[in-house]
Structure 1
Amino acid sequence: MSQGNYKRALDSFQRIYKLNKRKSRESYPVKRLTDPTPDRSADLDGTGRSSTIKERFSRAKKKFLEGVYQLRPMFSKPYLAISLQVYCLHFCQIMCVNSVRLWLPQIFATMNAMESLGANDTSMCAVLEHNAMAAAMNEEAKRVECALHHDPGSYLDNIIVAGIGLVGFLIIFPLMRIRIVSNHILKVFLFICIFLVGGLYFVKTSLMTMIISAIYLTLMGICATTIIGTSVVIFPTLMRTMVLLLIMTFGRLGSVSGNLLLPIFMQLSCLAPFLWLCSLMTIAFLFSVFLKVDDQQSLS
């Protein structure tokens, strides 16, 4: 409809009505669609006369200028501040979640290797120390270490973490229909995740590492999905595609940045990466607190 193609829009509405109501398309109560945009169904359906090259160029130029004009609200009040807030929030949370998620297989493999060698201390500091020692070993020792990393238990831990994440999504999505849940789930989960990611520093066993990391990754995955869904409510229709693309772009930048910075913090000390992740989680939580979402506003 925003492009003036009312014929296809009405056809889509009729199909939706038929699926939802189990009635014929002809019984759909709306017979005509109206909008300030002129009806251009004939041009868009290809039923009009063929256009010249000059006309097509002029039409393409007009569409481009219209697209640029539609982006103007992104750089003005109130959407500029809101969009920057959403971008920074998604950047921080994806940096945190992917730093842990991509590091987790190595953690499980190292813990299983240490347990097979009879180590009593499998804390995060012990894991970091073990990896540092492995990096300094000769080639023969590295081959032995690599063989230890292929213990089936390390794969099982990752499968369990993924399974817990699936169950978490299946449980939480039906609850999103409750308004109080949808309004506060982002800030509540981010607040909980601050303590979960910090708690990884204090765990001593592979079982507790698996449980805490599984809960953390599940909650953070729900938060990442929620902020993307929330943007549909916050921004007008003609801005949503561009906003979603920018949100995903900032998320991927956060993922790359996190995996570049994490080894640097690991080299500083055992505590440094966890303080860094807790700080990022706190920043993301503060952004979520000040993010106002009105799910009753009109979908302009």
Structure 2
Amino acid sequence: MSKSKIFNISSEVDKSVTENKHRHVTDTTDIYNADFETAISATKFGKFNIFLFLLLIPSGWTNMLETTTMSYVFPAAHCDLDLSLSNRGSLNAITFVGMVSSGFIWGFLCDTLGRKKLMITGYLLDAAFVIMSSFSQNYTLLLIFKFFGGFIINGPFSALTAYLSEFHCSKYRSKVQLVRGMIVSCGTMALPLLAWAILPQDISINLFNDTVVLHSWNIFLLVCAIPSLISGIIFIFMPESPKFLMTVGRNEEALAIFKKVYSLNTGNKEKFPIQSLQDETKTERLETQKHGGHITAGRNKTQALKEGFQQIKPLCFPPHLKHIILVCSIQSVIMLTVNTLRLWLPQIFQSISDYQYYNNGTTASLCTMLEALRPSTHSNITCHVNFSPSVYLNTIIVAGVSISGYAIAGSIINKTGKKMLLGILSLSGGVCAMSIYFSKNTAMVVTLASLFLSTGGICGNVILTVVIDLFPTSLRAVTISLVLMFGRSASMVGNLIFPLLLSLGCAPPFFTIGSILILCSLLVMFLPNTDRKALE
């Protein structure tokens, strides 16, 4: 059966209205006026959900590729592009600048125009800008294209986060984001393998009368556009989020999607137990009438855009105001620490490799080996590209540990609760980051960095599940975008400051990152307990 046939959802279904959210769903009981949680629970877990996880491979990797590829390009392109330490920090940070500048725009567009259209447009545009960046011949052009890549990818990432959660019932919702994190970690393992296969190759392709010369790092960037392109094409055949459709009053279409998902998951094409859905436009209006943010059923695109701005307003008032401040603060701390060290880790491993290359394979303490990154130590040395397998192997090990961490966290999150898991992991991650300073050899650096990035990465995904629990559907995607905007602003600052900290010495970078993440464990104490809160 073709994908287009599977996901071509017919909207010719009789419209009805409303039901009790706590009623038990069976395959033999007709239920009328069901709320979203009842309806999505009735679709079961099966082939459709597994297909969503498979789709996460290209779509989940695109955001990681957009922010991470530069850290592998630096060692290969620093001679071609004449990159200084500050240039490298800027190239790491510029993607986050683009993400921050577009965060709020994409958020309300996602909540007003829908998840599907935004993901199709966003992924295809991202592929275009990644392809353009692969033809860059100088630092300035690469900086510009990486900015626009960050500007674009923010939209589909926020939409994908909401989309995944809205196709799963509360039983699986907490684990979905951890599965997404695990799949992204698989991407961070695949990326160094791809870099290892392409970057050491001696490639020189002349185009347009030698005005454009493609080296191995250009080809590497070109290949990294493939996941975005695949994602944009596949989402053309995917259904819209039924939760979004219910929120905007398109219950007939939502019910048709529920029925199709149920049929795919169970193999039962006869009868879906839900016969009609709750009118959520009335529910949303009652919840938001004090501060605005209501949604008009059957609205046109102009109304949707106008109401999109109104939907942001409730975030500025209780009970959402204190929650948005808290989750933005926590996510900022997490992303500043994790994304800074994650993006500089390949360069740190390259520095270790360079030290061993120039010292006949001998090793030393981390601080001694990092001297290769200090500008004053190599100003008179001829530019040289040292492609060492150890750089890629070390990053693969770090990614492998992260995958194991997500697997463990996914199995215990419902037992420990999100709040406790966040507190324990952020405290542990901070200690690991500070301990890197005391590393006496490469093995210790790899071990501690692996533990730090594993715990920090899990925290970043868990806080997104907290956001999904805390905020209603009409505010969910815009809230996620806002939270990520603050987090990426912090990531941008971290990547700009890290070179300065390195120039001050070995201790400042690792003690700064570690102490900031420990601060997160204190902020977590103020989070409400959302573990028993169902999706609204």
What is the TM-score with the length of structure 2 in the denominator? 0.48
Residues 180-199 of structure 1 aligned to structure 2 (within 5 Å): 180-199=416-435
CA distance in 2, matches of 1:37, 1:80: 23
User: 2:154 aligned with 1:154, yes or no?
Assistant: no
Q: Which moved more, 1:207-216 or 1:60-69?
A: 60-69
Change in Cα spacing, 1:109 to 1:34, as seen in structure 2 (3 Å) is closer
Change in Cα spacing, 1:296 to 1:136, as seen in structure 2 (3 Å) is same
Give a deviation string over 1:235-294, Cα, whole Å, max 9, x none: 111110101111222222122111101111222233222232123112222222211232
Task: State whether residues 92 and 284 of structure 1, in contact with CA within 8 Å, keep that contact through their aligned partners in structure 2.
Answer: yes
Residues 169-184 of structure 1 aligned to structure 2 (within 5 Å): 169-176=406-413, 178-184=414-420
**Structure 2: runs of 5+ lacking an equivalent:** 1-245, 283-298
User: Which residue, 501, 504, 513 being the options, matches 1:268?
Assistant: 504
Q: Aligned letter for 2:370? A: L
CA distance in 1, matches of 2:442, 2:311: 52
Q: Aligned letter for 1:165? A: S
Q: Which position in structure 2 is the counterpart of 1:94?
A: 335
Give a deviation string over 1:176-219, Cα, whole Å, max 9, x none: 3x232434211110010111000001011001101110111111
Change in Cα spacing, 1:30 to 1:119, as seen in structure 2 (3 Å) is closer
Q: Aligned letter for 2:330? A: L
Larger Rg: 1
Task: State whether residues 197 and 274 of structure 1, in contact with CA within 8 Å, keep that contact through their aligned partners in structure 2.
Answer: yes
**Structure 1: runs of 5+ lacking an equivalent:** 39-57
Q: Which position in structure 2 is the counterpart of 1:49?
A: none
Change in Cα spacing, 1:16 to 1:162, as seen in structure 2 (3 Å) is same
Task: Could you list the structure 1 runs, at least 4 aligned residues long, displaced by more than 6 angstroms after superposition.
Answer: none
CA distance in 1, matches of 2:464, 2:435: 27
Q: Which moved more, 1:274-283 or 1:15-24?
A: 15-24
Q: Which position in structure 2 is the counterpart of 1:72?
A: 313
Q: Which position in structure 2 is the counterpart of 1:55?
A: none
CA distance in 2, matches of 1:119, 1:16: 57
User: 2:307 aligned with 1:63, yes or no?
Assistant: no
Q: Which position in structure 1 is the counterpart of 2:259?
A: 14
Q: Which position in structure 2 is the counterpart of 1:5?
A: 250
CA distance in 2, matches of 1:237, 1:198: 39
Residues 229-268 of structure 1 aligned to structure 2 (within 5 Å): 229-268=465-504
Q: Which position in structure 2 is the counterpart of 1:166?
A: 403
Change in Cα spacing, 1:5 to 1:108, as seen in structure 2 (3 Å) is same
Q: Which position in structure 1 is the counterpart of 2:374?
A: 132
Change in Cα spacing, 1:162 to 1:299, as seen in structure 2 (3 Å) is closer
Q: Aligned letter for 2:325? A: L
CA distance in 1, matches of 2:336, 2:382: 30
Question: 1:121: how far off?
Answer: 5.9
Question: 1:231: how far off?
Answer: 0.9
CA distance in 2, matches of 1:63, 1:295: 32
User: 2:323 aligned with 1:82, yes or no?
Assistant: yes
Give a deviation string over 1:123-168, Cα, whole Å, max 9, x none: 2321333332664431xx333xx34x32222221112212222232
Q: Which position in structure 1 is the counterpart of 2:273?
A: 29
Q: Aligned letter for 2:345? A: L
CA distance in 1, matches of 2:376, 2:404: 36
Question: 1:175: how far off?
Answer: 3.2
Change in Cα spacing, 1:130 to 1:19, as seen in structure 2 (3 Å) is same
CA distance in 2, matches of 1:170, 1:297: 23
CA distance in 2, matches of 1:8, 1:235: 24
Change in Cα spacing, 1:62 to 1:218, as seen in structure 2 (3 Å) is same
Q: Which position in structure 1 is the counterpart of 2:167?
A: none
Q: Aligned letter for 2:272? A: Y
CA distance in 2, matches of 1:266, 1:201: 12
Q: Aligned letter for 2:391? A: S
Secondary structure of the residue aligned to 1:201 is: helix
Task: State whether residues 233 and 293 of structure 1, in contact with CA within 8 Å, keep that contact through their aligned partners in structure 2.
Answer: no
Change in Cα spacing, 1:82 to 1:150, as seen in structure 2 (3 Å) is same
User: Which residue, 501, 509, 516 being the options, matches 1:280?
Assistant: 516
Change in Cα spacing, 1:247 to 1:262, as seen in structure 2 (3 Å) is same
Task: State whether residues 419 and 524 of structure 2, in contact with CA within 8 Å, keep that contact through their aligned partners in structure 1.
Answer: no
Task: State whether residues 234 and 293 of structure 1, in contact with CA within 8 Å, keep that contact through their aligned partners in structure 2.
Answer: no
Task: State whether residues 134 and 142 of structure 1, in contact with CA within 8 Å, keep that contact through their aligned partners in structure 2.
Answer: no
Q: Which position in structure 2 is the counterpart of 1:142?
A: 382
Change in Cα spacing, 1:122 to 1:98, as seen in structure 2 (3 Å) is farther
Q: Aligned letter for 2:347? A: Q
Q: Aligned letter for 1:92? A: V
CA distance in 1, matches of 2:257, 2:475: 22
CA distance in 1, matches of 2:330, 2:535: 23
What is the TM-score with the length of structure 1 in the denominator? 0.82
Q: Which moved more, 1:79-88 or 1:62-71?
A: 62-71
